[in-house]
Structure 1
Amino acid sequence: MKIALLGPGHPFRGGIVHFNSRLAMELQKRSDLDFDLFYWKKPYPEFLLPGSAQSCLDKESSLTFHSNGKQFLSYTNPLTWMKMIITLHQGGYDLFITHWVHPVHFPVLKFILNFVRLFTKTEIVIIVHNVLPHERIRFDASMTRSVLKMAHRSIVHSDEESKKLINIVSINHAPLVAFMPVFDQFVTDDDISSSVRISLGLRTKVFLFFGFIRQYKGLDVLLEAFHLFAQTHADASLLIVGESFYQENKAISAKDRYLANWLPDDPVRSQIVWIDRYVPNEDVCRYFTAADLLIVPYLSVTQSAPLQIAYAFDKPVIASDLPAFHECVSTGESGYLFETGKAFDLAKKMETFFEKPIRSESVKRFRQKFSWERYVNLILGNTNHGGNGL
């Protein structure tokens, strides 16, 4: 089978970049596949980027997970759209896999996929990371509908997203409900937990929040919950790692904004360690190995890359009880769920974790169902028919 994959790659940042890179690694090692990889050279126009265009580039990481591929597709250069079409036509591919992340990609993908549909026999598979964006924009549903109806098959990562896709797009196939695989590319064999804890001044119990800070991720709920928990747990630390995705006032740090209503002499302040910056790939392991568990207090979600990084490190999680998390968190086996947006309930689950700790061996067994080998087999094993993969 001959396959082409189009997606973002280094030097761009973000979870979809890591997802695409890891998927490419899995496809490349399959001896039964003839695989070609294509990257976006410019996935967005500058005026749509948060901050400056340079802020979306990963200049910090020396470890990139980058696989060799052709990188020429540019959002702002229609000639490269034609080059992509000609390349796909001449390649005679059985399968063309790409990603739907945000309606901003509508003009490029609509143009390319329309030609692939009309002039090739290539089957189009779209991995739908977000049916609709977290921050809604005008005409997002119509743009999503227009592009996703071009797919022969759509892959989603939760039942909720599948229902949303069916409601928005009139498609003649059932979406394949897969899962978000573990992001195991960050794992190392080095035992650095103790040294990292000492260097960061962490205490005995360590909770981790990791990733871009965005409003829908519920960091304010976590801070309120930790403040409640810390009243009786002076031995606990909250480790917050990640930069703000949108930063209106560069002079004010995320820490100062989120803790603006806390008293300056509040003793709980000293129990919070805040790494307010983008973390290079090679440093991701430092924070996950140092933590006892990850907390994902999201207010809305399709899936979570930090959660699957935690599983790769055999770390349990506490997550909000959103439908997508019900599908990937097993209570008492891989973590605990709390009532979305309720700080008091999250604080109780933090207590529960240390009363009834979940061992790494349990998480390791549970995460086997989220392997990349299984994910790729779901995609390739359903190339001729629709239906659920789980």
Structure 2
Amino acid sequence: MASREMTSNAPGESVRYTLWQLVLYFLKLGTMGFGGPVALVGYMRRDLVEHRGWITEADYKEGLALAQLAPGPMAAQTAIYLGYVHYRVVGATLAGLAFVLPSFFMVVALGWTYRQFGGLTWMQAVFYGVGAAVIGIIAISAHKLTTKSIGKDKLLWAIFLILAVVTVVTESEIAWLFLAAGVVTWLWRAPPKRLGGGGLAAVLPVDVVHTGSFMATLDWTLLTQIGVFFAKAGAFVFGSGLAIVPFLYGGVVTEHHWLNEKQFVDAVAVAMITPGPVVITVGFIGYLIAGFPGACMAALATFLPCYLFTIIPAPYFKKYGKLPAIVAFVDGVTAAAVGAITGSVIVIAKRSIVDVPTAVMALLTIAILLKFKKLQEPVVVVSAALIGLVLYPLTH
């Protein structure tokens, strides 16, 4: 067991929390954290940086930047990195498991219910209310991230606006733009004295090479097919957990025909009404395909790449993260990430706000969270679900 006090990277700085306190925090966040990746990384900043002071602002920004640079779900990678900050690989592993496992068991239970009773007709009503409220929660989180991360820097604001607009127009997060934003900020603030020098290259993620389509010609068992497909999803999809949805649709519905259209839509609804990372919907999908073994294989295959893409470059972020070039690069990537997150609020809103009642619920959620700053998000989500159960039959 880790001791209460432990020397961190900064000389003379001691850790203000135990490993198990951090694990319990992520266990709670994974059990009660609603709102998708934008809201979840916002909660991490609010709780661990502002309220408890366990994580520094610099470490948080490094984690958010790395989560955007590497493929995989943003919220899970940020949690893994924050676990790594003071407790290295053990902390990263336990924080990641604590964050993911609660929602995994929830979606497996819902998968069992779905298969037993032939569908989740009530879930459409719940999602009708929750989807609208989630927009309000995400909007508040995006606003807080923007004000805290960008400040008054004109270059960062320009990057923020460009990424927000691109995300809204393309309805996707373009990985190379995050890199470009980091490089531009680096060159503007701390240009290298000569080309080819500097430590920036040490922290840039290594490109992953696609192994080719020859694997599709082999005779895989169903579980192995699930593992290969979901490993690709975890290794090649950048941005928030929501970015994985189009990739999953193409493989699960169109290519392999494992699920039909309605089942896939229900799977996305499950992801939105359960706490924890949105990408945990892979557990629900895996369960529908091959029961509990399928759920385990899909979840493991999806999260293993993002875990490795976090802990492998993390030491370089920690070692070189204070260099002016790296600080500038991280600031640029962070501004791009927050811009993309803000743009995704609009993208998600177009799917969740479908009529006047849902628009009113989203605006009311924003107003209530601004008025009652200590109100817990689960209370808002449960209230929205109950309202949805009442309103949905009346509006449909």
Q: Normalization by structure 1: what TM-score?
A: 0.27
Structure with greater strand percent = 1
Structure having greater relative contact order (Cα 8 Å, sep ≥ 6): 2
